[in-house]
Amino acid sequence: MNGSPNIARTAALIGDIARASMLSALMSGKALTASELAREAGVTIQTASSHLSKLEQGRLLKVRKQGRNKYFELASQDVANVLEGLMGLEAGTHPLKTRTGPSDAALRHARVCYNHLAGDMGIQLYDSLLANQYLKLANEKLILTRKGAQFVREFGIDIEHLQSAKAPVCRECLDWSERRSHLAGSLGRAFLQRFETLKWIKREEGSRIVKFSRHGDDAFNATF
């Protein structure tokens, strides 16, 4: 339709199996090289380079150069939100019994969604912040309250720095495993980084899975 966004072009970019595998790998929030993404997709480096060029031209990826190396990452939080939503749509088309096993259970419990905490623990964080009136929804917009800013500050997060940046501080992100909201935005990213600094969590190598230490699990549940 004239004047409407061409969603077919973007859908076609995501719809290729190899490109979808690369995009899913980048949902870990880590920047990866072409060779690393080629292994994720099961294709040659030459084929991967062609796919990555198309994804970059389609504004789904951005490239960072460091020395002789080129690293690819998702272009924005909006791209991550679309991918997370598609994962939820795909998961909802299959009976739950097809998603059993410790690996999937671990992903549902706690995982990285681009740059913030998702899964059961992410939802618990979000629900706690709402229940304590640290966050509130107004006109379908998520807002950090004055009480919330004080809590965040006392938790060790530089909220003034986050508020001075251009990126949204608080955003809702629909969790694909639970179909409920978790916290995204710069505050969601800051919480994830703070949990790592406190050694409450550790990311599983080569995966989106986040594992809580025994101390971290107790501290998280006491705080949220």
The pLDDT score that the predictor gives to residue 101 is 33
**Which residue segment(s) compose the domain that 13 sits in?**
7-75
Polymer length of the chain:
224
- State the total domains in the chain: 2
Of the residues 28, 58, 75, which one is the last residue of a structural domain? Answer: 75
pLDDT in tens, 173-190: 878 777 788 999 999 999
Residues 64 and 121 in one domain: no
82 shares its domain with 63: no
pLDDT tens, residue by residue, 121-170: 999 999 999 999 999 988 878 999 999 999 999 999 999 999 998 888 99
- Residue 4 pLDDT level (bands cut at 50, 70, 90): low
pLDDT at residue 99 is higher than 50: no
- On whether both 165 and 204 belong to a single domain, the answer is yes
Identify the burial level of 39 via C-beta atoms within 10 angstroms of its C-beta, where 0-12 means exposed, 13-18 middle and 19 or more buried.
middle
| Residues 201, 92 share a domain | yes
53 pLDDT tier (thresholds 50, 70, 90): very high
Q: Is 2 a member of any domain? A: no
Q: Do 15 and 54 belong together in one domain?
A: yes
Q: 1 lies in a domain?
A: no
Token output for 110: 């706690």
Instruction: Give the helix/strand (H/E) hosting 139.
Output: none
The CATH number of residue 34's host domain is 1.10.10.10
Give percent helix, percent strand, percent coil of the chain, each to the nearest 5: 55, 20, 30
Backbone phi, psi, residue 5, to 5°: -60, 145
Tokens standing for 137?
């929804």
Q: What percent of the chain has pLDDT over 90?
A: 55
